Amino acid sequence: MSAFHALTLTGLDGKPLPLSDLAGQVVLVVNVASRCGLTPQYAALQRLHEQYRESGFSVLGVPCNQFAGQEPGSETEIGDFCRLNYGVSFPMTAKLDVNGPQRHPLYQLLAGEGAEYPGDISWNFEKFLIGPDGGVLGRFSPPTAPDDPALVQAIERALGL
């Protein structure tokens, strides 16, 4: 089992969210926030999730309040906001730290020392593309829209489409 799939996170609902459930799928991990200029990316993330989920793809939203306090709400408030405003149905974790001394092991794996694409997360909506084997295939900057041709092409390539 890959290091990615060995992790178990906590979902927005407070229940365990084992990443082993995503083994064999292509996953786009995105640190998200509800009060960010990039928040409208939720709509395109949901469209990606719906378009490719039957092919073995999932978005994984990771709320983070480390960037200008743009995700201040509780997990319940975050979930309600995402469902009501953007129809989000993809899995989401409880809030995590993506940088600093309390960086969650997920982000240590994705961006820490020795990672395929190391370096601090620059802002909300930074994206990591994870292959079916749990390996990191790419890192995309926050302004990269979920429907950006380069990102879509990387997803389709990973899915073998």
DSSP string of 90-108, one letter each residue: S-BBSP---SSTT--HHHH
Which one of the listed residues 26, 32, 33, 36 is annotated catalytic?
A: 36
Beta bridge mates, 16: 10
Reply yes or no on whether 64 is catalytic. no
Contacts of 141 (CB under 8 A, 6+ apart): 122, 126
The structure tokens 């993506």 sit at 98
> Residue 21 in contact with residue 93, Cβ under 8 Å?
no
Active-site positions read 36
